[in-house]
Chain A
Amino acid sequence: MSKITLKKLSHSYLDKQNFDSDWALRDVNIDCQDGGAYALLGPSGCGKTTLLNIVSGLLNPTKGKVFFDDKDVTSQTPVERNIAQIFQFPVIYDTMTVYENLAFPLKNRGMTDGEIDSRVKEIAEMLELTKTLNNRASGLTADGKQKISLGRGLVRSNVNVIMFDEPLTVIDPHLKWILRSKLKELHQEINRTMIYVTHDQTEALTFANQVVVMHEGQIVQTGTPVELFEKPKHTFVGHFIGSPGMNILPCQIQNGIPAIDGVKISIGTEIKKKSSFAKTEIGIRPEFVSFSEDGIPVKILKVSNTGRHKIIDTECKSGKIKILSHSSKEIPSGSAFLSFDKKYTYAYGDSWIIE
């Protein structure tokens, strides 16, 4: 168990880096508290697996350092770092039985047969693998195999951190829920630092206490699920988290007051800086938009009812606005006016929040 600190981490798979896009990771700083459950969330290709492999020691970062409990481990191998990692698809040793698979990491570290036996049985019990212990591992279903991978990660009792690289990708949807709650349960049981990489917001938000959102090799926001939802620090977080995502509309700022289509918008924070941005935008989640007497004039394009709520597509001069309202509410047709909940309306300059 230990605290993990990443300092000014940058990584590139190329020998020479001329552009920002040549970097898979750019200037990443993270502090993971001991025993915390963290999720790295982001679309494919945003650098989350790269980051994970740097923490585990499978990759050496081009720049920056990795610390475990304030000890620099940047040049250590995965074995020296004593970590566990579970991969996207199940990695099992085909020719071994389930028991031998689980015992493998312990055997390689020279533990005695007695210790191995008690440890393997304990983990098998935890993962409900006891009945299949003597079966050949290759005969199991995908979720059974992934449980073995998971078991090999958990079987060592002293690992510093357990990392998951999209571990539920190949698992059937109904089993995903079961395995996910199993993971959450395990985290509470063994209380070890866990880092979970995923592109699925539901997975990230349900698993982790702290979610790290990544975009194009950078960390755009770190926070609790609620913080990410209520106050996205970057328009990408707004888009990526929530369904449907945040409405982002171009706006003009005059004397510190933003306006869309000439209609002034009051926001929760004041724009103090007279800084010049290449582009300025207003972000508002569909949950916090409502119809009113006056405000932004829009045309209503489409209403879709999901059962629990309605999603209304509208369009103003500057762009489209989605609204999420309770399904029992009456929706005006044709044209209407919209107002935004001041508390959850944010202004963004060059995609970053202005505060």
Chain B
Amino acid sequence: MNKTINQKAWFFVIPVFILVAFNAVVPLMTVVNYSFQETFANNVFTWEGTRWFKQILRSERFHAALGRQFLFTGVILAIQIPLGIAIALTMPKKGIGVSFCLILMSMPLLIPWNVVGAMWNIFALPEIGFLGHLLNDMGFNYNFTQQIGDAWFTTILMDVWHWTSLVVLLSYAGLRSIQPAYYQAAEIDGASRWAVFRYIELPKMKKVLTIAILLRFMDSFMIYTEPFVLTGGGPGNATAFLSIDLVKMALGQFDLGPAAAMSLIYFFIVLLVCWVFYNLMMRNESQT
């Protein structure tokens, strides 16, 4: 088939091109620019090569923040994915209960992130907050503003409360799309409830779960607002995840060069993990 040549078509691409240029390419290139240079006042730049990258990669502060970040993301994924699937499995399949549950599940997702942080801050305050007061009344010595364990516990609990719904909604959609004949066939084959989950529901949910894990990984890995409002990264640096640490470096200390280098490293880590994970999950798909 011969292609029709019509160069005017480029005009239709221009708006998108401009939009992408201004919201992605130009800011990213600015960061790249900063990451290789040292800035002083009055817009004086000096070339530094890969110095900031080396500095960041060797910095203990960055290692610690990265470690905390992986731990946090690992923990919330380990809780939210199984919990989300479990809730989706117990949700009603028809009737008025469906809308009720769906609305209930959507609520946490609709709350602005800084409001979530503020809510949990007040909720967990040891003296006046419901959770804090309750835990102390029950005999636990709970104070998330001073004790590292408590700060982590509260941050994780908040994230689980805020985001498990997303996993629930995606899993529920995946479950609802399974044809009834699969369940009927399993019933006739004499499959146990566990076998139905293992051999029908889980494989059929694979795609939505891949999406859920990717989204939850990216969001939790880049989490900023909620822990910033809740703990401010403290006590000390205990809950200073990568983005909190990054903002401290860039805006608090005005170390633009190292902060830019850190941004890029941060960006590549997210990209790399997502790419590896996606390819692992989809490897079997392409074989079939």
A contact set with B: CB distance below 8 Å: 53, 56, 58, 77-79, 83-85, 87-89, 91, 93-96, 104-105, 108-109, 136, 138-139, 149, 152
What residue in chain B is nearest A152 (Cβ atoms)? B189
The minimal Cβ–Cβ distance linking A221 to chain B, given in whole angstroms, is: 29
In the bound complex, do residue A93 and residue B199 qualify as a contact, i.e. CB atoms below 8 Å apart? yes
The number of inter-chain residue pairs (CB within 8 angstroms) is 56
Q: Which residue in B195, B204, B287, B288 is a CB contact (below 8 Å) of A108?
A: B195
Q: Which residue in A77, A95, A104 is a CB contact (below 8 Å) of B203?
A: A95
Q: Which residue in B181, B187, B200 is a CB contact (below 8 Å) of A89?
A: B181
Q: Which residue in B181, B192, B200 is a CB contact (below 8 Å) of A88?
A: B181
The minimal Cβ–Cβ distance linking B100 to chain A, given in whole angstroms, is: 21
- Whether, in the assembled complex, B177 has its beta carbon less than 8 Å from a beta carbon of chain A, the answer is no
Collect the chain B residues with CB atoms within 8 Å of residue A88's CB.
181
The minimal Cβ–Cβ distance linking A220 to chain B, given in whole angstroms, is: 27
- Whether, in the assembled complex, B104 has its beta carbon less than 8 Å from a beta carbon of chain A, the answer is no
- Whether, in the assembled complex, B20 has its beta carbon less than 8 Å from a beta carbon of chain A, the answer is no
- Whether, in the assembled complex, B188 has its beta carbon less than 8 Å from a beta carbon of chain A, the answer is yes
Between A and B, 21 residue pairs with Cβ closer than 8 Å are A56-B184, A77-B187, A78-B187, A78-B188, A85-B185, A87-B181, A87-B185, A89-B181, A91-B182, A91-B185, A95-B203, A104-B189, A105-B188, A105-B189, A105-B190, A108-B190, A136-B287, A138-B288, A139-B287, A149-B185, A152-B189
In the bound complex, do residue A95 and residue B185 qualify as a contact, i.e. CB atoms below 8 Å apart? no
The minimal Cβ–Cβ distance linking A274 to chain B, given in whole angstroms, is: 51
The minimal Cβ–Cβ distance linking A126 to chain B, given in whole angstroms, is: 19
How far, in whole Å, are A105 and B191 apart by their CA atoms in the complex? 7
How far, in whole Å, are A234 and B152 apart by their CA atoms in the complex? 75
- Whether, in the assembled complex, B253 has its beta carbon less than 8 Å from a beta carbon of chain A, the answer is no
- Whether, in the assembled complex, B179 has its beta carbon less than 8 Å from a beta carbon of chain A, the answer is yes
Q: Give the 7 A-B residue pairs with the shortest CB-CB distance, closest first.
A: A108-B190, A91-B185, A87-B181, A105-B189, A139-B288, A93-B199, A94-B203
The minimal Cβ–Cβ distance linking B193 to chain A, given in whole angstroms, is: 12
How far, in whole Å, are A247 and B218 apart by their CA atoms in the complex? 68
Collect the chain A residues with CB atoms within 8 Å of residue B184's CB.
53, 56, 58, 78, 85, 87
In the bound complex, do residue B288 and residue A136 qualify as a contact, i.e. CB atoms below 8 Å apart? yes
Collect the chain A residues with CB atoms within 8 Å of residue B203's CB.
93-95
The minimal Cβ–Cβ distance linking B186 to chain A, given in whole angstroms, is: 8
1/0 per residue B133-144: CB within 8 Å of A?
000000000000
In the bound complex, do residue A109 and residue B199 qualify as a contact, i.e. CB atoms below 8 Å apart? no
How far, in whole Å, are A87 and B192 apart by their CA atoms in the complex? 20
What residue in chain B is nearest A137 (Cβ atoms)? B288
How far, in whole Å, are A87 and B187 apart by their CA atoms in the complex? 13
How far, in whole Å, are A96 and B192 apart by their CA atoms in the complex? 16
Collect the chain A residues with CB atoms within 8 Å of residue B195's CB.
108
How far, in whole Å, are A88 and B181 apart by their CA atoms in the complex? 8
In the bound complex, do residue B181 and residue A91 qualify as a contact, i.e. CB atoms below 8 Å apart? yes
What residue in chain A is nearest B189 (Cβ atoms)? A105
The minimal Cβ–Cβ distance linking B172 to chain A, given in whole angstroms, is: 20
